[in-house]
Amino acid sequence: MAMKNTTTAFSSVRTLFVIFIVLCTLSLCLFFLSSTPKHSNPSTIQAFVSGNISQFSQNFIKVYVADLPRSLNYGLLDKYWSFDADSRLGSDADGEIRSSHLGKGLKFPPYPENPLIKQYSAEYWILGDLMTPQELRTGLFAKRVFNVDEADVIFVPFFATLSAEIQLGVAKGAFRKKVGNDDYQRQREVVDFLKSTEAWKRSGGRDHVFVLTDPVAMWHVRAEIGPAVLLVVDFGGWYRIDSKSFNSSSSDMVQHTQVSLLKDVIVPYTHLLPRLHLSEQQSRPTLLYFKGAKHRHRGGLVREKLWDLLVNEPGVIIEEGFPNATGREQSIIGMRTSDFCLHPAGDTPTSCRLFDAIQSLCIPVIVSDNIELPFEGMVDYSDFSVFVAAADSLRSSWLVHHLKNYSKEQKDTFRQNIAKIQPIFNYDNGHPGGIGPIPLEGAVNHIWQKVYQKLPMIREAIIREKRKPPGVSVPLRCHCT
């Protein structure tokens, strides 16, 4: 009996001890949960270090639109549509739009359909989204604010690409000059205005966002806006090879240091061909298709060699042209009836052709060793693209044999994966003038998510700049990978 009582007492003590341990554990968990900063996004850490725990704790980005005059954005469209249809800026695609637009005085004119200009239209769709009333922008990643002190970033509403293209169309010979160059005057107006603002002075422009999709956009002021966040289609227009030290065995010597994957965002070209849905699939008798210019410069020299190797290969179509009036229909047919679409580097590492292939469910074959791609980290291009080293592609018959080794099942999987990501490369929101709700899965929303990822680095750069002693300069460095 005594032993039974002892056992019972011991059991009770043991039960109380277990309860005590559980309560202690729960208390410790609650303590750490309440006292440790949440790490739901990487920028929380940076905000904590900078002494402002709420700085980047929201799951959206706050954008202030710089107060530039209309003449530097939609006014440039008025100027474009005022040109005669027979000028260099005219095109068959724009003829009908030009005649319907004249005299209407639209607040938000349409963007050109001229393919040479349309491929760079990100500036139009991004601003159109921000100009849309906030009540129509529910759930989007960018929230427009009207107090610059509340903003994470300042968006610069300058249609830099359109400005450059108008100058090239009116007086190409003056483009690299400053005298008699209206585009230079507009660039100067933008930069001089921004530099006069308190927002620029306190950040050195590091929290300002420019859209520079055309490789020659903002040509004359690039060094001045280098610290800002640049939305570019690739870095090719910013790099220069040091010809004195460059040879077949050495690496490229990058001289320009204003671009970096740490602060800048690679954005898609605007695709020029319509979307093909998976349910609309048809026969694809052609193995490999390419339509474009044969003769290119710099890294594009590989294209010429590839052309000569592939032009007479059975099952391969290689043809000169660009998707304008007639070429567009040819490109639609060519891409939709081919398993693979070739994407070699041009004058710069990429082109809109890649995004036309994606919309056509044609598996991209990327031959561009230095390419940077939009939304990496959100999208895994190896799920739907074939990447080929330039050296391998130039081996006789190698590329054709390599592509023939892909089974039907593999190609079907590639196309299924392409179909899933087609929407994120689409800018057009389907609303007149680009004013209206954008799709959550579209390009503009993804661009703002990528800019949001840069906020910790932007904040860090601003703080580092503030602590420098007067007269001390820190050398620019390019972190490109």
Q: Which two tokens stand for residue 223?
A: 């060094």
Which pLDDT belongs to residue 171?
87
In the prediction, which pLDDT does 57 show? 56
pTM, whole model, 2 decimals?
0.83
Q: Which of 11, 46, 26 is nearest to 459 (CA)?
A: 46
pLDDT 10s per residue in the chain (481 long)? 444 444 444 445 455 544 544 454 444 443 333 333 333 343 332 333 333 334 445 789 999 999 999 999 999 999 999 887 655 666 677 877 887 776 677 899 999 998 889 999 999 999 999 999 988 988 899 999 999 999 999 999 999 999 999 999 888 888 889 999 999 999 999 999 999 999 999 999 999 999 999 989 999 999 899 999 999 998 876 654 333 333 444 344 444 457 888 899 999 999 999 999 999 988 999 999 999 887 766 556 788 889 989 999 999 999 987 656 567 889 999 999 999 999 998 777 788 999 999 999 999 999 988 889 999 999 999 999 999 999 999 999 999 999 999 999 999 999 999 999 999 999 999 998 999 999 999 999 999 999 999 999 899 888 888 888 887 776 655 444 4
Are 214 and 179 members of one domain? yes
**Is residue 321 domain-resident?**
yes
Q: Does 8 reside within a domain? A: no
What's the CATH code of the domain at 297?
3.40.50.2000
Do 407 and 335 belong to one domain?
A: yes
pLDDT value, residue 42? 37
Q: Give me the amino acid identity at 170.
A: V
- Residues 352, 462, single domain; the answer is no
164 shares its domain with 103: yes
Instruction: Decide if 218 is inside a domain.
Output: yes
Which residues form the domain of 78?
Answer: 61-269+447-466
CB within 8 A of 197, min separation 6: which ones? 66, 148
Residue 303 in domain: yes
In a domain, 6, yes or no: no
Q: Is residue 417 part of a domain?
A: yes
In a shared domain, residues 358 and 402: yes
**Are 208 and 303 contained in the same domain?**
no
Taking the C-alpha atoms of residue 397 and residue 4, their distance in angstroms, rounded to an integer, is 89
Residue 16 lies in a domain: no
Instruction: State whether 131 and 188 are in the same domain.
Output: yes
Torsion of CA 85, 88, 91, 94, to 10 degrees: -60
Do residues 424 and 275 lie in contact, with contact meaning Cβ atoms separated by under 8 Å? no
Instruction: Please tell me the total count of domains within the chain.
Output: 2
The predicted pLDDT at position 211 comes to 98
**Pair type for strands 338-344 and 208-211:** unpaired
* pLDDT score at 86: 57
The reply to whether 87 and 189 lie within a common domain is yes
Asked if residues 232 and 238 have their Cβ atoms less than 8 Å apart, the reply is: yes
Look at residue 2 in the predicted model and tell me its pLDDT: 43
Which three-class secondary structure string do you get for the chain? CHHHHHHHHHHHHHHHHHHHHHHHHHHHHHHHHHHCCCCCCCHHHHHHHCCCCCCCCCCCEEEEECCCCHHHCHHHHHHHHHCCCCCCCCCHHHHHHHHHHCCCCCCCCCCCCCHHHHCCCHHHHHHHHHHCCHHHCCCCCEEECCCHHHCCEEECCCCHHHHHHHHHHHHHHHCCCCCCCHHHHHHHHHHHHHHCCHHHHHHCCCCEEEECCCCCCCHHHHHHHCCCEEEECCCHHHCCECCCCCCCCCCCCECCCCCCCCCCEECCCCCCCCCCCHHHCCCCCEEEEEEECCCCCHHHHHHHHHHHHHCCCCCEEEEECCCCHHHHHHHHHHHHCEEEEEEECCCCCCCCHHHHHHHCCCEEEEECCCCCCCCECCECHHHCCEECCHHHHCCCCHHHHHHHCCCHHHHHHHHHHHHHHHHHHCCCCCCHHHCCCCCCCCHHHHHHHHHHHCHHHHHHHHHHHHCCCCCCCCCCCCCCC
Domain end position, chosen among 425, 455, 474: 425
Query: What does the pLDDT read at residue 33?
Result: 37
Q: Same domain, yes or no, for 292 and 414?
A: yes
Shared domain check, 364 and 258: no
* Residue 10 is assigned to a structural domain of this protein: no
End-of-domain residue from the set 395, 425, 455:
425
